[in-house]
């Protein structure tokens, strides 16, 4: 099962509850004894974890007593050392100053044991390994575990079945992961296990452990190939003589028809723009490109009255033309200076857009929902690490430098190999920055 642990919230909660519990207990006392620790809190698991943290630390300190000048493997020495340790265990005396850090750590352990057992057992084994862990030490450790006890029991059985009395820390962690993955139905409910603790200081499990991690759907634009826009070749304009010759012939014929109909009208009231337009449409007038060519004809080739009567028709039926048609219709000569000026304006515009993108902070290019996804999935829920990464991206010169920085400073730290899709999305937004 995947989950995200919020260590910051766990530490804050453990510190608040520790202050409340110790303030109540040490009202009239300066220290706490062993029997009092076993009844320190109503949650027995918390009391056992406090004892565990005291004894395991004590065993580590006892190892420091060994010296290369003496034989600590002698049976007599072992016996006397065991008697000494047992005598000390019956005389526990911890002052408040030393007791509060142990309580705080034990509360954090309690929350992890119930809500994130994989993290708890892995952390404990890493602390015990030096570099090997004996089965005897694991059995002593198991005495303090009540919640999710099946994990330690299965690990001990695995090691004993292999015929060894001790094992390396990495191998022990492998046994822990195997026990958890093979027995998901045996994992106790975190809400039920922590209910007694939350009655003393209200909280919710989701404040400490989020299950599952947020899923991210890979955007389709990451898999789509970039479309290359092919420019249409611009046809070379024909010589003016070849264009005007057929147009003049067609337009003169159309003009003569319109003029003849207009002359046959008896009165001025019979003529109207609507009537002329209707008549022109019925005669299937040529496209506007040909009519506009008519305007360039010399007046000595077309009678002036006929041209003046056709002009309203041109304005009334003139359609919208496409860019290619507009190019063909344009008769103005574009000189070299105009071409250079247009090219320079386009270059300045592209440069301005690129400058604005580079100058914009990287976080403004990332949508809000992806920011939360990146923080949780790629930066372990640590907003400070995300802010640091954003600042470094803004300070890099190019895309390759930014990606190299992210892989070097954050990928290994937060195990981005398990988040390939989210990492790919982040790199895509970094590419847009440059």
Give the tens place of pLDDT for each residue, 246-288: 444 444 444 555 455 544 544 444 444 455 444 544 444 444 4
| Residue predicted with more confidence, 121 or 59 | 121
User: 303 phi and psi, to 5 degrees?
Assistant: -65, 140
Residue 294 within any structural domain of the chain: yes
Same domain, 114 and 153: yes
Structure tokens belonging to residue 84: 């000494």
Number of domains forming the structure of the chain = 3
Residue 132 lies in a domain: yes
316 and 414 co-located in one domain: no
Identify whether residues 115 and 260 lie together within a single domain.
no
Task: Copy the structure tokens of residue 317.
Answer: 């039926």
Cβ burial 51-61 (10 Å sphere, 16+ → b, else e): bbbbbbeeeee
Mean pLDDT of the 292-312 span: 47
- Sequence-separated (6 or more) residues with CB below 8 Å from residue 387: none
Domain-ending residue, one of 194, 210, 226: 210
Neighbours of 307 (CB within 10 A): 18
Classify residue 223: in a domain, yes or no. Answer: no
Considering the domain architecture, whether residues 106 and 199 belong to the same structural domain is answered as yes
Final residue of a structural domain among 273, 302, 329: 329
pLDDT > 60? residue 12: yes
Final residue belonging to a domain, choices 294, 329, 364 = 329
Residue 289 has pLDDT above 70, yes or no: no
> Tell me, what's the pLDDT at 222?
55
Residue 434's pLDDT is: 81
Instruction: State pLDDT tens for residues 122-161.
Output: 999 888 766 788 898 899 889 999 999 999 999 999 999 9
Residue 121 reports pLDDT greater than 80: yes
Of 21 and 360, which is predicted with more confidence?
Answer: 21
Domain co-membership, 94 together with 186:
yes
Is 247 found in the same domain as 118? Answer: no
pLDDT at 247: 44
Same domain, 26 and 121: yes
Q: Between these two residues, 339 and 393, which has the higher pLDDT value?
A: 393
- For residues 428 and 406, give the distance between their C-alpha atoms in angstroms, rounded to a whole number: 13
pLDDT band (50, 70, 90) for residue 228: low
Per-residue pLDDT, averaged over 420-427, amounts to 85
Distances (CA, A) of 136 to 140, 167, 394: 6, 11, 54
Both 52 and 156 in a single domain? yes
State whether 254 and 389 are in the same domain.
Answer: no
Domain range for 249: 240-329
Model confidence at 24, pLDDT cuts 50, 70, 90, reads very high
Backbone angles phi, psi at 94, to 5 degrees: -125, 125
**Residue 340 within a domain:** no
Any domain includes 302? yes
285 lies in a domain? yes
pLDDT of residue 72: 80
Residues 123 and 34 in one domain: yes
Residues 61 and 147 in one domain: yes
pLDDT at position 195 is 94
Of 53-57, 191-195, 316-320, the poorest mean pLDDT is in 316-320
DSSP element (H, E) containing 209: strand 209-210
Tell me the C-alpha distance between 152 and 44, whole Å. Answer: 18
Return the structure tokens found at 321: 């033309």
Residue 206 and residue 249 in one domain: no
């Amino acid at each position: 099962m995947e989950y995200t642990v919020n260590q910051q919230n766990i530490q804050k909660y453990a510190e608040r509850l520790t202050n409340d519990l110790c303030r109540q207990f040490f009202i009239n006392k300066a220290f706490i004894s062993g029997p009092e620790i076993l009844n320190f809190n109503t949650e027995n698991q918390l009391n056992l974890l406090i004892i565990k943290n005291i004894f395991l630390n004590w065993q580590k300190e006892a190892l420091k007593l060994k010296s290369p000048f003496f034989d600590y493997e002698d049976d007599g020495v072992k016996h006397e050392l065991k008697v000494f340790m047992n005598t000390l265990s019956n005389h526990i005396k911890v002052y408040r100053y030393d007791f509060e850090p142990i309580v705080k750590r034990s509360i954090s352990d309690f929350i992890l044991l119930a809500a994130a057992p994989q993290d708890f057992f892995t952390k404990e084994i890493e602390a015990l390994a030096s570099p090997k862990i004996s089965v005897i030490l694991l059995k002593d450790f198991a005495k303090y575990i009540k919640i999710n006890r099946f994990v330690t029991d299965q690990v001990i059985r695995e090691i004993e079945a292999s015929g060894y009395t001790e094992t390396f820390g990495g191998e022990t962690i492998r046994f822990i992961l195997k026990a958890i993955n093979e027995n998901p139905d045996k994992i106790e409910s975190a809400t039920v296990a922590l209910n007694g603790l939350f009655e003393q200081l209200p909280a919710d499990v989701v404040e400490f452990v989020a299950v599952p991690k947020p899923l991210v759907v890979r955007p389709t634009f990451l898999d789509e190939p970039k479309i290359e826009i092919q420019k249409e070749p611009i046809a070379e304009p024909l010589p003016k003589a070849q264009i005007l010759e057929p147009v003049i012939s067609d337009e003169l014929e159309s003009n003569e028809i319109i003029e003849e109909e207009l002359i046959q009208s008896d009165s001025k009231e019979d003529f109207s723009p609507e009537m002329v337009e209707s008549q022109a449409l019925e005669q299937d007038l040529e496209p506007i490109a040909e009519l506009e060519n008519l305007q360039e004809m010399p007046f000595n080739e077309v009678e002036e009255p006929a041209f003046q009567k056709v002009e309203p028709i041109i304005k009334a039926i003139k359609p919208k033309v496409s860019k290619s048609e507009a190019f063909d219709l344009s008769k103005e000569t574009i000189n070299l200076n105009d071409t250079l000026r247009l090219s320079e304006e386009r270059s300045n515009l592209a440069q301005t857009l690129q400058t604005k993108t580079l100058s914009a902070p990287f976080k403004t290019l990332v949508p809000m929902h992806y920011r939360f996804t990146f923080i949780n999935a790629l930066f372990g829920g640590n907003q400070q690490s995300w802010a640091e990464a954003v600042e470094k991206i803004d300070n890099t010169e190019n895309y390759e430098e930014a990606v190299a920085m992210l892989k070097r400073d954050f990928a290994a730290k937060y195990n981005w190999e398990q988040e390939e899709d989210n990492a790919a999305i982040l790199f895509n937004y970094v590419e847009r920055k440059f």
